[in-house]
Homo-oligomer: A and B are copies of this chain.
Amino acid sequence: MLVSNTSRDRPDGDRVNDKARTRERNRAAVQEVALRLFAEQGYEATTVAQIAREAGVSHMTFFRCFPSKEAVVLDDDYDPMLEELIRSRPVTEEPVERIHRATMTGLGQVYEHARETLLRRTELLLSIPGLRARIGENLASARTAFERGLTPEGEEPGVETRAVAAACAAALSTAVIAWSETGGEADLPDLIDRVFHALRGLPAPEPLSPEVRP
């Protein structure tokens, strides 16, 4: 259904559905146009109709790609990675510590590859009052990932697990926000470290980067 591969015509490598392809292409186009317009003229001032027009699709296609205007900014896909990283940490560690270390690893990678993207997106998020309030949703998906990472397969998480997951998601989000508020000047891994240390009631770690604040 997804992969049909009528290989008789085209002997070359990637042979996914043209349909799915176009869909993805549309989605990407819409997102790109949207983010550009948001940056250029502001979020509120940009209408869905305009985005659709400039992306060369209809109004409806927009909503078929993104469930809402906000989703264009909020969409995020680091969560599955984080879940896996948490699960792979030893269960002997305290839940908060597992998340702490998993996050350090995961975000460390993101930090290397997609630093700029993450920064721009977060700044945009914070600059739009309507979205700022909704960081919680963003957070909710991280929370779920943490929860799943902490809970053995097939079990239901207890209140404690759910609370720890939610709390860590909130703490992490705070670190990312603080980082974006410095315009990316601060060292994100270091901020994350400090935040989790504070949560666990540990003394502040020595900074990895020489100058976090001048």
Residues of A within 8 A of B (CB): 94-96, 133-137, 139-140, 143, 159-164, 166-171, 173-175, 178, 191, 194-195, 197-201, 204
Contact = CB atoms under 8 A, between A and B. Distances in A.
Contact of A174 (B95, B163, B194, B198): B163
B137 A204 contact: no
Nearest to A97: B201
7 contacts: A139-B170, A159-B195, A159-B198, A167-B168, A170-B170, A200-B200, A201-B201
A199 B139 contact: no
B163 A199 contact: yes
B135 A191 contact: no
A173 B162 contact: no
A191 B137 contact: no
Contacts of A160: 194-195, 197-198, 204
